[in-house]
Amino acid sequence: MTLISPSPADLGGRTALVTGAAGGIGRACALRLAAAGAKVRAVDRDAEGLAALDEEAAGRPGSVETLLLDLTDLDAAEQAAAGTDILVNNAGLQLVRPIEDFPPDVFSTVLRVMLEAPFRLIRGALPHMYGQGWGRIVNISSVHGLRASPFKSAYVSAKHGLEGLSKTAALEGAPHGVTSNCLCPGYVRTPLVERQIADQAAAHGIPAERVVTEILLADSAVKRLVEPAEVAELAAYLCTEPASFITGASLTMDGGWTAH
C-alpha cells in the first residue's frame, strides 16, 4: 500500500515526544517519526520495552532517546514536554468491568494517564510551539472517543475527554501555527489486543479468527485489524506541512465502524 509519506527530510530538525512508546502504537509512532528525521523522545513506564525500542532504533534513520517516566506524575510529564515541536499523546490502559464493579481508584488512574497527563503535556509543550509559530499535537484517541461500549466506562470517558481537549487545543493553537488532532482507530494489532483475542477464544471455545471477525469486528465493515504502522503513518502525515489545515479533527481508522 502506498501512502503519502513524510520523507526523511520532512521532519529533520524537529523534536518529538511520544508517550507510551514502549509498546504497540507508540513504538510504531516513535520509529516512524524518527524515520522521517525527527529527534524522538520516547516516554514510557516500561523499562524493558524502552530498552527493546532503543535496540530496534539503533542503526535506523533518525534518533530515539528513551525516558523512563510514569505519567501519573503530572508535574514530571509537563516538564518532559518542554521544548518539543511534536507531541504524540498515546499512552493508555484499559480495564473492562461493569460500572458497579469498576474500582474507583482505577477509574481515577485511567483519567489521570489518558486525559490529565495529555493536558499537562500539551501545557508543557505549548510555550515552545507558540514561540516558534509551529507545533503538532497528535492525540491517539479511539473509536471509543466517538462511541461507547459497555464495561469500558473509564476508557470511554477518558477518550471522549481527550476529544474535547484536542479540539480546544486546536482552537487556541491555530493563531500560533499549532494543530491538534485525534486519531480514532478501531482494534489495532497490538500485544494488548492479541491477548484479548486469545482470552476470548478460550472463553468462547472458538478459533481466534472468529473472535476477530464476529466479536471484535462485529461493527467494522473491513474485517481485519488495523496495523500499528498504519496509525503511525497517519500520525507522521499530520506532522507535515501539507497537513497544516487539518486541525480540530477526529480522523477515524475504523474500517467503517462509525459509518453505521
* Catalytic residue numbers, as ranges: 155
Report the distance separating Cα 107 and Cα 129, nearest Å: 32
The least distance separating ligand NAD from the CB of residue 12, rounded to whole angstroms, comes to: 26
The least distance separating ligand NAD from the CB of residue 189, rounded to whole angstroms, comes to: 8
The least distance separating ligand NAD from the CB of residue 216, rounded to whole angstroms, comes to: 8
3-state SS string for the chain: CCCCCCCCCCCCCCEEEEECCCCHHHHHHHHHHHHCCCEEEEEECCHHHHHHHHHHHCCCCCEEEEEECCCCCHHHHHHHCCCCCEEEECCCCCCCCCHHHCCHHHHHHHHHHHHHHHHHHHHHHHHHHHHHCCEEEEEECCHHHCCCCCCCHHHHHHHHHHHHHHHHHHHHHHHHCEEEEEEEECCECCHHHHHHHHHHHHHHCCCHHHHHHHHHCCCCCCCCCECHHHHHHHHHHHCCHHHCCCCCCEEEECCCHHHC
Which residue lies nearer to ligand NAD by CB, 102 or 134? 102
Contact residues for ligand NAD (CB under 6 A)? 20, 22-26, 44-46, 49, 70-72, 90-93, 113, 140, 142, 185, 187-188, 190-193
Which residue lies nearer to ligand NAD by CB, 46 or 172? 46
Which residue lies nearer to ligand NAD by CB, 71 or 154? 71
Which residue lies nearer to ligand NAD by CB, 70 or 172? 70
The least distance separating ligand NAD from the CB of residue 89, rounded to whole angstroms, comes to: 8
The residue of the chain with the least Cβ separation from ligand NAD equals 24
Which residue lies nearer to ligand NAD by CB, 174 or 222? 222
The least distance separating ligand NAD from the CB of residue 58, rounded to whole angstroms, comes to: 19
